[in-house]
A and B are shown apart, each in its own frame.
Chain A
């Protein structure tokens, strides 16, 4: 009985060929291993932990969570807090649009007319944001308070009715959001405008485009990935923000971030807080997916 040599036998031709193939295929995976581990440990694992908490039942007394496969928690809290989700969406959207309107001219001016002092102007734009986020917001509370400088001046000169107030209103929250997230809009816009090839603009003029047409048909389309990136970078953190609402807002404009913070830190409702966080995350990921779908994933690495 002559047994044939197993083809897998070390030293066999087949085995060698397989090893070379593996050696060729493996490097990309090995090279992406650090990034993959990073993603796994700092994103996927925490995400799974959070998802598992949404199915648990936690005791507010002991803080102990027990897995009860409670699928009802997520729909329950979404049903309970959907008005706050809507408030957050509206506030974050308005603040983002305000930021885009304010920072586009600034970024445009620095990119096209900044000359050699571009970096200086950029630093000027960022200097206020070197101060802590909380302190900046607290100072806004001071400025906008009923007896603060702005309202006292307005009321004293009869520019506003005596019962006019800003603090505690949605307006104050939107203003705070717009102020605090301005750099997140301005910088991607600047990057987008800065990289526009000036020769393309000259070509447009050569083809008898006036300034308006050149802006509308050349500059604006070329900045669209930047605008979208700016939108995402501002909208996503503003959507989940709770500091501005907590400090500048009142009772009728609670945002979802405030609710999550209360559920986690005061009410010990970990399942509820985790459920709302998951919904928040899904909405944010939808935004990024939309961006990738419309503008391609290549631009994500360039702008975000």
Chain B
């Protein structure tokens, strides 16, 4: 996403400076007057708020800016639903964070999908106002994270505060292609978009994405309604690595997916609800998110659901924590983000979560807890009903080197024109009559 530059974002025929003027907050005449008024007042009175001075002098996210920030002992954290440890309606990892740091966390499970959440926070960002959240979690396989970066709507992270991250972050998410050097983001969790099937109904699944295109399962196959997921699996099916694909590959993939639809193979294009349909037996095979299948398997009722990582590879997506601009509590946010990179913390989150853990060292903490996680894990155990070793040894949570290798990155869009080209190919398949 880093490649998406301002110039490429322009719609044809519009002066780039005009776009910048419209999209970036400017030092308005009125602000300038206020500032000079303050300066005058300061000169006369001989005293002045140093914080205001520092805030005006250094740009957001710079070293001096971070230095001028203070802890407010409060944090507003927006995340996706069911994405953090839960015990009796509370979150042990966050409770412990409050105990350790004195920072009270307001945790909001408000993100249902990237596009509509982006639309909710955008008006505040465009107006130069606090979105209400100090941390938001955005996925790398949608354009919105890139939009936030390139419009300058994220606060560059304070690397001096990333002690746990620098020590424990795993190779899959350290300095990733969508955010080189972790300038703006730290991964929350990752997962594969792979294939889930019912092993009672599907006897010889093979190890290929072709199973999604097999006429034998006509009307029993679910596909995901996210155009970026759908297009990527289409590319894998025609034997092209999505990250290295070209626009003509996209057209071929779209044709293959259109054929799959007109052959009556696709039951429907689902959002997150696919897992319910898979559990209900409405469909036998579906594109899926790895963690969902793992969690379903834990329930004896749904033991039949199996995860398939095809030999063509599975798309690896990552949900990223980032600090939206104008956040009121950036220092509290930074503290929390690094807190989640402690293996002790991550062991508790992962015991509940079952997605790919950003901290490989959490495995040892799950097997042999040494800190506050000992009590937290013990209290979670009756709820989850699994030995810690099942999570610790799961190839879905702590992937084997072979699985790491099978993980495919998404295509990095270089311009809005490319994004439009992609969606105009794949969206009609999902929405079309």
Partner of B11, one of A68, A84, A253: A68
Interface size of A in residues (CB-CB distance below 8 Å): 32
Contact in complex: A60, B143 (CB < 8 Å) = yes
Whether B430 contacts A63 by the Cβ 8 Å rule is no
Closest-by-CB residue of B relative to A147 is B280
Known contacts: A254-B431, A254-B432, A266-B115. The answer to whether A61 contacts B143 by CB under 8 A is yes
A83 an interface residue at 8 Å Cβ cutoff? yes
Contact A61 B14 (CB under 8 A): no
Q: Are A251 and B280 in touch, CB under 8 angstroms? A: no
Nearest residue (CB) in A for B147 is A61
* B19 and A267 contact, CB distance less than 8 A: no
Given the complex of chains A and B, what is the CA–CA distance between A254 and B113 in angstroms? 20
Residue of A60, A80, A147, A258 near B428 (CB, 8 A) is A80
**C-beta contact mask, B91-126 vs A, less than 8 Å → 1, else 0?**
000000000000000000000010110010011001
Choose one: B113, B122, B281, B432; the contact of A62 (CB below 8 Å): B122
Tell me the minimal C-beta distance from B260 to chain A in angstroms.
Answer: 12
Whether A251 contacts B268 in the complex (CB less than 8 A), given A60-B147, A62-B151, A66-B18, comes out as yes
How far apart sit A250 and B264, CA to CA, in the bound complex (Å)? 13
Partner of B268, one of A62, A168, A267: A168
Contacts of A68 in B (CB 8 A): 11, 13-14
Contact with B along A241-273 (1 / 0, CB 8 A): 000000000111110001100100111100000
Residues of B within 8 A of A60 (CB): 143, 147, 416, 419
A160 to B219, CA, bound (A): 17
Q: Which residues of chain A from 230 to 247 have any CB-CB distance to chain B below 8 Å in the complex?
A: none
CB distance from B397 to the nearest CB of A (A): 31
For B428, list chain A residues within 8 Å (CB). 80
Report B-chain residues with C-beta under 8 Å of the C-beta of A155: none
Residues of B within 8 A of A203 (CB): none
Pairwise interchain contact B269-A59, C-beta atoms closer than 8 A = no
Q: Does A277 sit at the interface, judged by CB under 8 A?
A: no
Bitwise interface map of A from 166 to 190 toward B, beta carbon under 8 Å scored 1, else 0: 0010000000000000000000000
**Residues in B whose Cβ lies below 8 Å from that of A52:** none
Whether B14 lies near A57 (C-beta < 8 A) is: yes
Q: Are B115 and A267 in contact (CB under 8 A)?
A: yes
How far is B115's CA from A168's CA once the two chains are assembled, in angstroms? Answer: 24
Inter-subunit contact B268/A63 (CB<8 Å): no
- Name B19's contact: one of A59, A146, A253, A258 (CB within 8 Å): A59
Q: Which residue of B lies closest to A63 (CB)?
A: B122
- Chain B residues 387 to 433 lying within 8 A of chain A, measured CB to CB, are 416, 419, 423, 427-428, 430-433
The answer to whether B282 has its CB under 8 Å from any CB of chain A is yes
**A64 on interface, CB distance cutoff 8 Å:** yes
In the complex the two chains form, is B433's CB within 8 Å of A254's CB? yes
Task: Known contacts A83-B432, A251-B269, A265-B119; decide if A62 and B23 are in contact (CB<8 Å).
Answer: yes
Q: Are A253 and B282 in contact (CB under 8 A)?
A: no
Give the number of A-B contacts (CB < 8 Å). Answer: 83
Chain B residues closer than 8 Å to A254, beta-carbon distance: 431-433
Beta-carbon contacts under 8 Å, B241-285 to A: 261, 266-269, 280-282
Give the distance to chain B from A270, nearest Cβ to Cβ, in Å: 11
Q: Does residue B160 face the partner (Cβ distance < 8 Å to A)?
A: no
Q: Contacts of A87 on B, CB cut-off 8 Å?
A: 433
Within 8 A of A (CB), among B7-49: 9, 11, 13-14, 18-19, 22-23
A interface secondary structure, majority: loop
A61 close to B119 (CB less than 8 A): no
Closest A residue to B21 using CB positions? A64
B225 — which chain A residues lie within 8 A by C-beta?
Answer: 251
Q: What is the bound-complex CA distance between A57 and B23, given in angstroms?
A: 14
A165 within 8 A of B: yes
Closest residue on chain A to residue B261 by CB atoms = A251
Give the distance in Å from the alpha carbon of A266 to the alpha carbon of B119 in the complex.
7
Let me know if A59 and B416 touch, CB within 8 A: yes
Complex partner residue of A64 from B13, B22, B281, B416, CB under 8 angstroms: B22
Residues of the B chain whose Cβ atoms lie less than 8 Å from the Cβ of A250: 268
| Whole-angstrom CA separation of A66 from B269 in the bound complex | 34
A59-B19, A61-B151 in contact; A262/B423 too (CB < 8 A)?
A: no
In the complex, how many angstroms separate the beta carbon of B280 from the nearest chain A beta carbon? 6
Chain B neighbourhood of A266, CB < 8 A: 113, 115-116, 119
Chain A, residue nearest B264 (CB): A252
Determine the distance from Cα of A266 to Cα of B114 in the docked complex, in whole angstroms: 9
Q: Cβ of B147 and Cβ of A84 under 8 Å apart? A: no
Q: Is B69 an interface residue (CB 8 A)?
A: no
Q: Is residue B74 contacting chain A, with contact meaning CB distance below 8 A?
A: no
Q: Is B150 an interface residue (CB 8 A)?
A: yes
List A contacts of B13 (CB < 8 A). 68
The answer to whether B282 touches A146 (Cβ under 8 A) is: yes
A253 touches B433 (CB 8 A): yes
CB interface residues, B 148-172, toward A, < 8 Å: 150-151
CA distance A219 to B14 in the complex (A): 63
Residue of A at shortest CB range from B115? Answer: A266
Q: Cβ of B116: which chain A residues have Cβ within 8 Å of it?
A: 265-266
With A68-B13, A68-B14, A265-B119 as given contacts, are A61 and B416 in contact (CB-CB < 8 Å)? yes
Q: Can you list 9 A-B pairs with a CB-CB distance of less than 8 A?
A: A61-B150, A62-B23, A64-B23, A87-B433, A251-B225, A251-B269, A251-B431, A254-B432, A268-B119
- Chain A residues with CB under 8 Å of chain B are 57, 59-64, 66, 68, 80, 83-84, 86-87, 145-147, 163, 165, 168, 250-254, 258-259, 262, 265-268
Complex A-B, nearest 4 residue pairs according to Cβ-Cβ distance, in ascending order: A83-B433, A61-B147, A62-B23, A266-B115
B residues whose Cβ falls under 8 Å from a Cβ of A: 9, 11, 13-14, 18-19, 22-23, 113, 115-116, 119, 122-123, 126, 143, 147, 150-151, 219, 225, 261, 266-269, 280-282, 416, 419, 423, 427-428, 430-433
- Supply 12 further A-B pairs (C-beta < 8 A) apart from A68-B14, A265-B119: A61-B143, A61-B147, A61-B416, A62-B22, A62-B23, A62-B126, A62-B151, A63-B122, A64-B126, A253-B433, A262-B431, A265-B116
